[in-house]
Structure 1
Amino acid sequence: MLTSEELATRIARVQQVITEAAERAGRDPRAVRIVAVTKGVERALVDLAYQLGLRIFGENRVQEAAQKFGETPLPEDAELHLIGHLQTNKARSAVRLFSMIHSVDRIPLVLELERRSERLNQRVPVLIQINVAREPQKHGCAPEEAPSLVQAILAAPQLELRGLMTIAPLTSHDEDIRQVFRMLRLLRDDLEQRFGIPLPELSMGMTNDFPIAVEEGATLVRIGRALFGERQDGDRLVR
């Protein structure tokens, strides 16, 4: 496990990169928040990250999050976000566990989240996941499907639409990555104008590409490896 000094150094380094990227784009660095991705990270290290000032944590799977946080939730001033694909049959658990769900990408999921949220009398902030690059191996709705999802969420009283999320292609071509993030921002702007609603959150950017995401308007950057290093996820190494 990382020492407190090692993790503090990693956090400071990520925060410095965010600051520099935001200043290049003429943005306030305080408008960008880190979602510390804790997939494969033991709870003790999560607690250490909290002690060092991080307040938003992201999990990819409902089951792992339940094992890690179900019996002992994070402190009240911390948030747990679901950033991975959500199966409809896990909606009940997701509503109980998470402060925000980044990966809403289909109308049946919207309806199930609304049903479960209503039963718990709980309002759930959500983001629509957009597959901007149209990669067949990735989840997310196509950009042209976003308006119908917005309508469905606006018709669900227990769900609070906060913005959009995307995952950029894994490529060394920065301009391809930038184009994906820029397209998400422009789609957000179009949806705000079309529906007359604020969509303040853009969840985009991970360890490999978060400086570009910040330059293009990200408000939430999902950082795992740059904070916690490579982690074991079952028999697979998380990079």
Structure 2
Amino acid sequence: MLCRNLEFIEEGILKACEKAGRRREEITLLGASKYADAEKIKQAYYCGVRVFGESRAQDLLKKLELLKDLPIEWHFIGNLQTNKVKYVIDKVSLIHSVDRNSLAEEVQKRAEKVGKVQDVLIEVNVGEEKTKGGVHPEELEGLFEYCLSLKNLRVLGLMTIPPYEEDPERVRPYFVKLRKLKEKLEKEYNLKLIHLSMGMSSDFAVAIEEGATIIRIGSLLFAS
């Protein structure tokens, strides 16, 4: 069943790439495994998914231990509390959710301690929803500049979780907004940001059309 789910998702990715004139290799399919147990993650791995993202530090540690024999690339995609950074810093290749100076500072401190440069994305609250994490668009530049000053942090791009809409087309403006924010930073700071982490089970095709490089798929992949 899981392999069939993946085939269906892959078809959607290919269609969206074709429509946008992009190559399949430009897109990383991340299995958002918050609600999946270790067995389901293992199944997804054997079907072909190689990157998984967890939203809670304790879940990541537990699953990582159960799946330590598999060379999975782990990302952290949820709201990260500063006091949990020390548990994930040497376990994940990318943190998607840096959204405040204090968190960036803690990531810097912990990364320096373990001798690594931590790749991160800045989470932007494009819908400016009170219930969601993410820096507000008008405060993005300040946070970005602060992150650039931290030597053990490397900002690779931006991430967003837009407001939920039944119709994916209604989400498109939020993806466009994130892409434009990325392009503005690239122009102003004369650098290249390689990632836009946006798009989930209900709207990943639209996200790809608007420039997503990482799509975070949970329910569509792990549905039984």
State TM-score, norm by structure 2: 0.96
Aligned to 1:143: 137
SS of match in other structure, 1:97 = coil
C-alpha separation between the residues in 1 aligned to 2:126 and 2:102? 21
Aligned to 1:66: 61
C-alpha separation between the residues in 2 aligned to 1:203 and 1:95? 19
**1:124-161 per-position Cα deviation (integer Å, ceiling 9, x unaligned):** 11000000010111100001111111111111111111
C-alpha separation between the residues in 2 aligned to 1:104 and 1:74? 29
Pair 1:218-2:212 in alignment: yes
Aligned-residue offset at 1:7: 1.2
C-alpha separation between the residues in 2 aligned to 1:47 and 1:72? 7
Aligned-residue offset at 1:173: 4.0
Higher relative contact order at CA 8 Å, sep ≥6: structure 1 or structure 2?
A: 2
- Letter in structure 1 aligned against 2:207: A
**1:178-224 per-position Cα deviation (integer Å, ceiling 9, x unaligned):** 00000000100000111111101000000011111011010000000
Aligned-residue offset at 1:47: 1.6
Please point out which of 33, 36, 44 is paired with 1:49: 44
Give unpaired runs (5+ residues) of structure 1: 1-5, 231-239
Q: Tell me, yes or no, if the aligned pair for 2:125 and 2:161 is still in contact at 8 Å.
A: yes
**1:4-59 per-position Cα deviation (integer Å, ceiling 9, x unaligned):** xx111111110110110111111112211100011121112212211221111011
How has the CA–CA distance of structure 1 residues 33 and 66 changed in structure 2, closer, same or farther, with 3 Å as cutoff? same
Give unpaired runs (5+ residues) of structure 2: none
Give RMSD over aligned pairs: 1.4
Please point out which of 88, 91, 102 is paired with 1:94: 88
State TM-score, norm by structure 1: 0.90
Pair 1:157-2:142 in alignment: no
- Letter in structure 2 aligned against 1:152: Y
Aligned to 1:3: none
Aligned to 1:234: none
**1:97-141 per-position Cα deviation (integer Å, ceiling 9, x unaligned):** 211100000000000100000011012110000000101111000
**1:62-102 per-position Cα deviation (integer Å, ceiling 9, x unaligned):** 111111114653634x3101110000111111202211100
C-alpha separation between the residues in 1 aligned to 2:20 and 2:67? 40
